[in-house]
Structures are given as C-alpha cells and as structure tokens.
Amino acid sequence: MGMSALYAHPVVMVRTGHENYGKFAETVVPFLTQMGFAFDMVDTASADGGLAERLAEWPLFVLAHPGCLGEGDDSVWHEAVRRASGRGSGVVSFGEALPPWSVKSEGGGGSSFVKIRDARHPVTMLHGRGERRRHYNLLQSIRPETVAAGETLAALGAEPLLTVCEGEGERGRIVVWSTMDWARSNVLGPLYGLDDLVWRSLVWAARKPLVVRSLPPFATMRVDDVSGFGKRCGGPSALYWLQQCVRLGWKPWVGLFLDDLERDAVHELRGMIRDGNVTACPHSFSYWDFIYFRHTPKYAEKGYWSEPALCEPIAGEDVLRNARKVEAWYAKYPDLPVSKVFIPHYYELSSGFLPILKKWGVEFIGSMHPPDQPYRGTMSYGGPYFRTHLPPAHDTPIFYADWYPSGNASFDGTFFASVTEIRDDNGYEWAPKRDVDEAIRHGVNQLTRAFDGQVLAQLFTHESGYIQFIPPDRWQAIMEGVTEYCASRNALFVTLDEAMAYLRDLNRSRLTGSEVDGNGDVILRFAGTSLGATKMAVYADDTLVPEWHEVPPFEDGASFRLRPRVAVRGKGGP
C-alpha cells in the first residue's frame, strides 16, 4: 500500500495538559534541539483522528512523555502507533507504556547510577560494558516509569533503563527508555556521558533515510593566560607549544596577557594568525592586572599577586583608560588583528566595555557569565540546557550556545555566546600536567563527552599554571596523543571564530521539515537565516555514521534538494 508522503524527520507525540508534559519540555526538547532534529508535533489531546491513519508516513515516532498517547492501552493513538510500526516506522518511547513492548512500572527499583549492560549494540557501541554514570555530589535516586521487554542495553540499578526490540520482517524497531528523569541536571543531566544514547537510539530506530541538522565533529582549542613563557621550561621559543599545536592541525584561540608578551613572542604569534591557524584576543594585562574588572589586592605590599580583597566592575574613565591602553598596545602591532571571539580573564566583564567590544569587531563571547558580577564558578541561564535553571553544582558539565545575557536591551542579539566545560573530569578545564598519559586521558575524556553529545568540542586550558610547566618533549607527546584520538573521530579542526559563527547560524535558523520524493531525493525546508554554509547529517543505512551534505547560506523559507549517496528505501515505503 502506498503513502501520500514519506518524511525524513520524526513526529513527536505529546498530550498537552497532561501532568507529565513538563517532562518532555525539560528533558527531551533540549536534546532534540541541540542535536538538530526537526520534528512535527502531534497533540493527541486535540489532533484530528484522521491523522492516526497517516502515521506510517513518518520514519519515527517519539513518544515524548508518560501518558502522551492517552489513557488506556487500547486508545486510538496506541493502536495507530502499533499499526504504523507494523509498516516499518520506528518508535522511541520516553517513559510511555506501549504494550506489548512496555507496560507501566508498579514502582520500586530506584537507583542513582546508570550502567551499560551491552556495549556491542550500535546504540551503545561508543561505551564499554559495565561502564557506570553517576553524579557523585547530587546522588539523586530515580525510578523507572515503564517495564520493557527486549534487549536491555543500559540499566538503572538492577532495572532496565534503555531497551531495544529489533523489528521482524516489515516491522519497525522499538526503543524504550523506562524514564528520562536521569536527564534532569539535578540528577545526572546532559554531557554526563549518556547523550549519545539519546541520538543513537533515535537514529537506530528510524526508517531510513533520516536527516538531522546536527553539529559536525568540530574540534577547537582554547588557551587562556598566554604570556609567551615557552623558554622558561626549556622550549626553543616563546610560543613553541602553540607552534606544535598548529603543526598537528589544531587552530587554537589564545587569550593574551598583553604586558607579559615580549616582541619576539608577538612576532611568532603574528605569523600563525596571518596564516589563519590562530586567533587571539586581549584577555588581561597580566594575571592580576585586569582589563575588564577590578581586583583590589588584600595585601598591598604583595601587589597583584596577593589574593583579592575586592572584586568589582569598573566604569567611566576607568573603562576608557584601560581601553586606550589596549588600543595603544595593538597600535604597536598594527597587523595583529583581534579575534571576533572575546573571553575576559576570570570571565569578568564590566558592562561599560560592551560598546568597546563592538567597536573592536567582537561578535562572540566565550562565556555566559553576566557582566558586572564577580565570577563565582557558575554562569547564567541560557540554551540549550539551562534555559530554566542554573547548573546545580560546581562540577556540572556545561555547554551553552545562546545570546549573551548583556542585561542591556541595546545589546540584545549583539554578541552570540558559547562555552563548553566538562567540569566533572579534571576540574573546569583540561589542566594537563607533566604526566603524558594522564594528560592524554583527560583530554580524550573531555573531547569524547562533547563529540558524543554533539556539542562543540573544546580542548580548554591555560598557559599559566599548566602548559608553561610541561617540558617540550612531553607537550609534543601529549598533543600527538590527543590529536590521534581526534583523527579516530574524524574531527574537523576549526578556529573558535569559525565554530562560533557556525553555532550562531544554527541558532538563527532551523530545519523545519523534510520529505523523500519518488526518486529517493530528500527535499529540505528551512526557516530563519544562515549567513554561512552548514551541513546536514543524512543517515541512510544502519551504520549510524552520517553522510554529510553541505547546504549553502539561505534566507527564511528556503528549500534544497539532496540525494543520499546510499539510496535506502525504508521499510513500509511506497
């Protein structure tokens, strides 16, 4: 039997007004948004019953929360999903009971940790068998909302958390998450190492092709507190360690301590910037001599190396004086451009600098810490994962990609902001030291979390306190080890300026729909504006490895046609 259409994006089934609808908004929507899934949404409380007969047109049904199909296991929507599954559409249930594959839990079985039971399956293959995930500060116990039949890939204590059923014959695949409460930031949350199970379960279950506008595996590097102290640890030049990164393919962003940099360091930096391999920004005058904030030393005789007694914003003539000093420094090196990405020392920025940043050509800020506030270890509200709440603990991993919270309406929509910090691995940064294996392990851990979570991967550390104390041969070995891992993930090395511009385009525009025509081509439809080219991930087979197709810049209402290189007609197709 043919169909009137065949889509390449999922349909999400919700029931507005249901007591569990908020779970969908809190735990599922942020993942779908960040991972680039376009979706149609069906409200089963009000949708035309005729739509139930057309569900097989979609390659995947996302049952968004417990109760989304209505009361009773024999409701019209339960029957419609089972019928469409029989024609090849996949199903991913986030806590909704769908007999015969899952039924409501009768309670019990709570746990505070998640364990991988089967790492051989395509959904879990990025993990190791027996691997555990738990937030060791929060230790919140959660309980499954459904009990599922099938193969258990991940467990919540002794109970199944993630279960899969392979479709037989023309039947679609079934994935059951017994609960999504683990995705709350006060339980475990995003970037704790389970994100890949979300997108991989969706892709695995879907009839192919499936198209997703996810972030490519960009790898960036950010080094704060750059003084050019390379010779102090036996290096051949002030910034030899930066040269080594560039030779391996990295394109680092560096935050400069202007008063520390000697002329030979600036000359060395200039060549790397000119070649497009490094971008740089005025970070501070020196470690305790701030540009954008004031730290008053507690012990005056120790000067700036004293612990601060007072941290406060500056304004008026103090702002102008510091800005003039920065501009005078750059006037000595007129061919040294300022990066479009700005990150202040300690993340502390006085609001009086906002118009000056704009004058300097800054478009992006690598922080979501609001202006005029001392940094206390947390940031502000912002998407995709902290729109409604703040990170609950100092070691909660964070990723932001949203507009900077300037607190000034005249700067709304001026600076796009993004920051990635996998804070539970080794502190809030990479923090490499002399132990080569340890440094590689932490770098790989943090990049893995970002790659698997489809957020911007960022190797973030400081020259002061870390790189400056690592001997050159060990630094080379560390970077070679981390780079080798990136090659295994097909990472794309880009500047932070390029990555931020890409994230801004993803924020300003979105994939709204997709349809497969009779020739196997996929027609894509977009809303919003993208100033640069972006890529579409097309999943055309069961490897869960995407084909990447480039989409040129576009304006609102644009549509494009692409042809998957592997032409697969999904089960139940016309």
pLDDT in tens, 347-366: 999 999 999 999 999 999 99
Q: Give the pLDDT of residue 25.
A: 95
Q: Give the pLDDT of residue 112.
A: 82
Q: Give the pLDDT of residue 170.
A: 79
Q: Give the pLDDT of residue 571.
A: 35
Q: Is the pLDDT of residue 309 over 80?
A: no
Specify whether the backbone of 36 is left (phi greater than 0), alpha (psi in -120 to 50) or beta. Answer: left
Q: Is the pLDDT of residue 10 over 60?
A: yes
Q: Residue 505 — φ and ψ, nearest 5°?
A: -65, -40
Q: Give the pLDDT of residue 1.
A: 33
Are 327 and 318 in contact by the 8 Å Cβ rule? The answer is no
Collapse the DSSP code of 168 into the 3-class scheme (helix H, G, I; strand E, B; otherwise coil) and give the result: coil
Are 153 and 116 in contact by the 8 Å Cβ rule? The answer is yes
Distance CA 535, CA 493 (A): 15
Q: Give the pLDDT of residue 378.
A: 76
Query: Which whole number is the average pLDDT over 444-448?
Result: 98
Give the full edge-to-edge strand order of the sheet including 522-528. Answer: 509-516, 522-528, 559-562
Tokens for 571? 């089960």
Tokens 């059951």 belong to: 176
Q: Is the pLDDT of residue 103 over 50?
A: yes
Q: Is the pLDDT of residue 149 over 90?
A: no
**How many CA atoms are closer than 13 Å to the CA of 459, on its beta-carbon side?**
29
Residues with Cβ < 8 Å from 256, sequence gap 6 or more? 226, 280, 281, 282, 283
Q: State the chain's mean pLDDT as an integer.
A: 92
Q: Give the pLDDT of residue 477.
A: 98
Torsion sign across C-alpha atoms 25, 28, 31, 32: negative
